[in-house]
Amino acid sequence: MVDVHCHLNLHAFDSDWEEVANRAFDSGVTKIINVGTSIPSSRRAVELAHKFPNIYAIVGVHPHHADKTDVEFEGEIQKDWLTELEKIAKDEKVVGIGEIGLDYYSYKSNGIVDKKVQVDAFVAQIELAHKLKLPLQIHNRHAGMDIIEILKQHKSELLKIPGMFHCMSGNLDFLKEVLELGFYVGFDGNITYPGLAPGEITQLSELVKYTPIERIVTETDSPFLTPLPHRGSRNEPSHVIIVARFIAQTKGIPFEKITKITSENASNIFKLNANH
């Protein structure tokens, strides 16, 4: 079982990330992919990947940080961020470009970044991924159809397996577009939450039911989105097992089959076995 999207590279894990990673491997998680959201956190994801053979990195600038170029952020000034990202992305343990995309939701901790700034950063990183022949890991919140439109405009630059949408949400029409473009779909611990997230109209369990198992990957987004019954505490990659179990129950497919196929899916997208 693979956690294709978590953030042991963020400060929440500064003091004990190795212990947390070992706990996941001891529980049956086979591979962990840490994902950057900025230049410093992307660099840190690569650093961690070199400490364990089964830890990989995805690097990129999140839409929330698309406006933080040339200002001080996380202890450095992100000058020439795209050139810097390209350098980081050439590391042998980098398996994708992410998390990139669009976010039109206003959070307490982060307002909505200017849409044009978000789009420009997203497109620049699609082009970088094309140049480096890496798949995309896409972040979307309330911006699904704009993302689809941009991906369609750049279809010739996408790989045969173009990548995945992480932390799937949205409606069935959007999910159909995602699948039609060849993308895989990641689900997190929030699939265990009752009710609907603000502004959503489709239950995540409906999206789980509709997505063919051949296109599903498992993730945690640790330290965020802790699944029930641990909601309220820091999330960690060992909880990807809870996500897989919930998917198994929702789809009425044996847990072992879910873990086998979703692990194969992760390896197919990110070439986890072939190159590393």
Q: Which residues bind Zn ion (CB under 5 A)?
A: 99, 139, 221
Q: Which is nearer to Zn ion, 102 or 128 (CB)?
A: 102
By CB atoms closer than 10 A (0-12, 13-18, 19+), residue 254 is exposed
Q: Which is nearer to Zn ion, 225 or 251 (CB)?
A: 225
**Shortest spacing between CB 139 and Zn ion, in angstroms:** 4
**Shortest spacing between CB 37 and Zn ion, in angstroms:** 7
Residue 124 token pair: 């620049």
Please tell me whether residue 49 adopts helix, strand or coil conformation. helix
Q: Which is nearer to Zn ion, 35 or 128 (CB)?
A: 35
**Shortest spacing between CB 140 and Zn ion, in angstroms:** 8
Q: Which is nearer to Zn ion, 164 or 241 (CB)?
A: 164
d(CA 275, CA 100): 23
**Shortest spacing between CB 7 and Zn ion, in angstroms:** 6
Residue 207 token pair: 């999206």
Whether the bond between 223 and the residue before it is cis, its omega within 30 degrees of 0, is yes
Give whole-number Cα distances, 91 to 5, 18, 27, 47, 87, in Å.
18, 21, 28, 10, 8
Q: Which is nearer to Zn ion, 111 or 254 (CB)?
A: 111
Does the CA dihedral 128-133-152-37 come out positive or negative? negative
d(CA 31, CA 4): 8
- The residue whose Cβ lies closest to Zn ion is 139
Does the CA dihedral 20-24-26-32 come out positive or negative? negative
**Shortest spacing between CB 88 and Zn ion, in angstroms:** 17
**Shortest spacing between CB 49 and Zn ion, in angstroms:** 16
Query: Which contiguous run of DSSP H or E holds residue 269?
Result: helix 255-270
CB 237 within 8 A of CB 222: yes
Q: Which is nearer to Zn ion, 200 or 255 (CB)?
A: 200
**Shortest spacing between CB 168 and Zn ion, in angstroms:** 11
Amino acid occupying residue 194 = P
Q: Which is nearer to Zn ion, 119 or 248 (CB)?
A: 119
**Shortest spacing between CB 166 and Zn ion, in angstroms:** 6
Q: Which is nearer to Zn ion, 148 or 251 (CB)?
A: 148
d(CA 22, CA 42): 21
Q: Residue 194: which of 218, 220, 229 has the closest Cα?
A: 229
